[in-house]
Structure 1
Amino acid sequence: MATFDSDGVLIDYLDDGEGPAVVLVHGFASNQVVNWVNTTWVTHLKRAGYRVIALDNRGHGKSQKLYDPALYSTDLMADDVVRLIDHLTLDRPVVMGYSMGARIAAFTALKAPQKLRGLVLSGLASNLVNGVEGGPRIAEALEAPSLDDVSGQQPRMFRAFAEQTGGDLKALASCIRASRQTLSAADVARIAVPTLVVAGADDEIAGSAEALAALIPGARALTIPGRDHMSAVGDRTHKAEVVNFLGSLAN
């Protein structure tokens, strides 16, 4: 693991393997290890011939914890990704994000299209535009005295997940209050790099992969049968299709 200073915020990241670079951006309440190492994404991409960079988003994992919601806008977290690309002097990597990470990746593609070779948006599809409800309730769940004090399926799921991943509950509550910005249909239509959109068929948080891909010029869509928000991330079909997409960018 290594760290770099992103405009005063210390960001932890993994850098492993050789070849064209892929930058991985994890989801809310997760971290680089849980989202990408434990699910064997890092191993899978390395074996396919890629250099894998995975950061802990601000407030997550080993990166600096911040407690002001204003410091967790998606725009600021996308700046962290752009600065990491510059810090490592990466030559037009592919940026892949899952869930909240997909939102960050989309913002990154709009900020710095000239720095990217391609984009993979996983675990957040049409709801990048339509919005994902429940942020305030999840924040309250994270601030509750214990999981026993939390009601509602989604708030309980995120509180349990945050505890499982060892997250800083106060920092995560600040993050969820500020990091669920949407993009308009016109915004996503300006994404100017080759894009793959992936979502589980049963993922109500993500929405429709086909609907989002239809808004992005030339984008591909993959819907994974029988997978929801938590089970889609490590799916074999998911990994195989991403590697196929990465290979297509070299042609």
Structure 2
Amino acid sequence: MLDDFMTRATLAGVGVAFAAAPLGCFVVWRRMAYFGDATAHAAILGVALSLTFQMSVFTGALAVALLMALTVTLLAGRGYAMDTLLGVMAHSALAFGLVAVSFLSGVRIDLMAYLFGDILAVSRSDLAVIWGGAALVVILIAWRWSQLLTATLNEELAYASGFDPKREQLILTLALAITVAVAIKVVGVLLIAAMLIIPAAAARNLARSPETMALIAAAIGATSAVAGLRAAYVFDTPAGPSIVCVAAILFACFSLLGWQRHTNS
């Protein structure tokens, strides 16, 4: 079954959707969209370092994405406006990554594949990494679900409940870095934030509880992956952007549905 490239691509897209769904809910709740962008953009520097030192792209992307996320977390609240800090870090990381890639000699690299994804080229080993990373993210979020929710709602309540909200922030940071590392092959660094935010934002119009929102976001993300791949095959369009386009269409539909429901009530 895995010999078919479309089957591997579909499984890869669904795996990324399952990883991004619960994490994307927290990104939406905490208004961390720029944080996701900064972490994702840093991954291209990780790709350059991986190719330079001949190691796994996943390892390099994970290390640099985690370093970026930790740096932003530590610098936040030290005299910088968060949106300004994230803007500087995101674009600087992407620029340094692109410059670093240009210095690679004797290495053939399809830069567009890392910027916008190359899901159709996913191999069996890539699939194992994607699903392994997705499982780790889901387990991590499920393990700390109630603590993460409490810290998201109110930091003082988190302290009163006996745990440190900063530790929960670090857990989210780790989960985000893992998601970026596994998603880079599927949708690329420029579209990873879209797969985090759009399904979760669409699910918010339908959900009545945080748990339901995470499940609906996973379903929307998986549907976007399957339908986007089919659209790319039929219309001969780029696979990664096609997946994001389907997610955006679903967001528009569910937003309209939610607006009508609110108006009728």
- Asked if TM exceeds 0.5, the reply is no
Structure with higher helix content? 2
Pick the structure with more strand per residue. 1
Greater C-alpha Rg: 2
The structure whose RCO (Cα within 8 Å, separation 6+) is larger is: 2
Q: TM-score, normalised by structure 1?
A: 0.29
